[in-house]
Amino acid sequence: MSDWVKPQTVVGTNSELEHEKPSADDIAEYIRAFYHGLDVKVLHDHCVLTRCRLSSSKSRQADNRGHVDLVINNGTPTRIDFRASGDGVAKGQLNLSHMLDGLLANVPKDAFAVVLLTHFDLYEDEEDDFCAGRAFGGSRICIVSTFRYNPVLDEHNNVDHAHSWPASHCQVYVNGLWEKDEPELKGRHKEFDPAVMIHCNNTSDAPLAAAVAASRGILWPTTPADWNGFWLTRVCRTAAHELGHCVGMGHCVYYACMMQSTANIADDVRQPPYLCPVCEAKVAYTIRGEAVKSSRNMELRLNLEAQWVVEAHRRMRDYCEERSHIGMLKAYGAWSAARLKQIESQREKNDVEVIVIDSD
């Protein structure tokens, strides 16, 4: 099954490169920074796939269907169905629902949540071409696959590196996508609302403007290290997203946010890596505020949550600055630094109070 982790269909100038798969340790470092305050541990060599067997049905054998056993921490084997991918990209895909069933039966007693990382391609049901990640939020388990994020598939997936986040906010680019996907809807709304537009030259202190400025000339990977970093950040963002469901968040419908739903791999790289204020408040409550909920001290809870927001942005800023050779992280670091300045500026305003004395 070792050849299943290598895409069968690769095209483009990047297809001849051998990329380094994102490691669990590197992804854990990202999660430690993003979900500041959670203790993140990596359990190596706890999962084994054994006894690969093809189906006894000749028709199912033609589709490379069968099952394997997933053994976690030497526990009871869980049957995992597999098939060949319908689009020909993967020689074998594993059923993610079965994988999560196996994980659910082996969640450590002291774990708040568990992320299962795999390099195999995944599918959820017969209608799926593939699935890069899924969470059972109520059970606090999730699975993430690195397979579809392999840069050798970028041309196959129509990934536009030049317009990956934060350049995905470009007005001309968004206009073009809108025209292509929803021409009738766009026809009823001729122009964007100027109130929601950011002019980077005039609002350079805005976090998004800072991210755009930092990303110029570095979003498109050129070296093997760049491609490896690009692969890593995409998987990290998905891991943080799926873990977000375990923290209690659904798909975000409010603002640009890491918790937005994603339609495909091309759409995935356009999504921001940060949380919007609504989802950020939910995480702050889960990590800090919930601990003092029983005390009924609202002021203490809000102060702890506000403190966590600042600490989390500092951690992400520092994490990104240490890895600023990666385009998305350089932009994210600039965004985090600018967001911190906004928060500190707002705090200073809140510390100044005006007392009006009526002379009458």
Both 298 and 338 in a single domain? yes
Rounded mean pLDDT of 185-196? Answer: 55
Both 231 and 311 in a single domain? yes
Confidence band for 63, pLDDT divided at 50, 70 and 90: low
Both 208 and 145 in a single domain? no
Both 149 and 168 in a single domain? no
The pLDDT tens digits of the residues spanning 5-18 come to: 999 876 555 555 57
**Residue at 330 is within a domain:** yes
Confidence band for 352, pLDDT divided at 50, 70 and 90: low
Which of 236, 233, 272 has its CA nearest to residue 254?
A: 272
**Residue at 360 is within a domain:** no
Of the residues 132, 153, 174, which one is the last residue of a structural domain?
153
Q: What is the dihedral of CA 340, 165, 181, 144, to 10 degrees?
A: -100
Rounded mean pLDDT of 303-320? Answer: 95
Long-range contacts, stretch 294-303, CB < 8 angstroms, 24+ apart: none
Q: What is the dihedral of CA 307, 312, 314, 317, to 10 degrees?
A: -160
Both 109 and 213 in a single domain? no
Six-digit token string for 20: 């380094």
Report d(CA 57, CA 105) in Å as an integer: 30
**Residue at 16 is within a domain:** yes
**Residue at 172 is within a domain:** yes
Report the DSSP pairing between strands 141-145 and 114-118: parallel
Both 167 and 145 in a single domain? no
Note whether 165 and 269 are within 8 A (CB).
yes
- Lowest model confidence (mean pLDDT) among 195-209, 296-310, 338-352: 195-209
Report d(CA 352, CA 30) in Å as an integer: 37
CA 237 to chain centre: 2
* pLDDT at residue 58, rounded to an integer: 58
**Residue at 168 is within a domain:** yes
Both 190 and 332 in a single domain? yes
Number of structural domains the chain divides into: 2
Both 176 and 318 in a single domain? yes
* pLDDT at residue 163, rounded to an integer: 92
* pLDDT at residue 344, rounded to an integer: 87
Instruction: Give the other-Cβ count within 10 Å of 176's Cβ.
Output: 12
Q: Tokens 């692969």 label which residue?
A: 231
Note whether 20 and 152 are within 8 A (CB).
no
Task: Name the more confident of 106 and 195.
Answer: 106
* pLDDT at residue 189, rounded to an integer: 57
**Residue at 307 is within a domain:** yes
The pLDDT tens digits of the residues spanning 26-51 come to: 999 999 999 999 999 999 877 888 86
Of the residues 94, 121, 153, which one is the last residue of a structural domain?
153
Highest-pLDDT range among 126-130, 222-226, 269-273: 269-273
pTM: 0.87
* pLDDT at residue 171, rounded to an integer: 79
Confidence band for 296, pLDDT divided at 50, 70 and 90: low
Both 118 and 166 in a single domain? no
Domain ranges, residue 48: 2-153
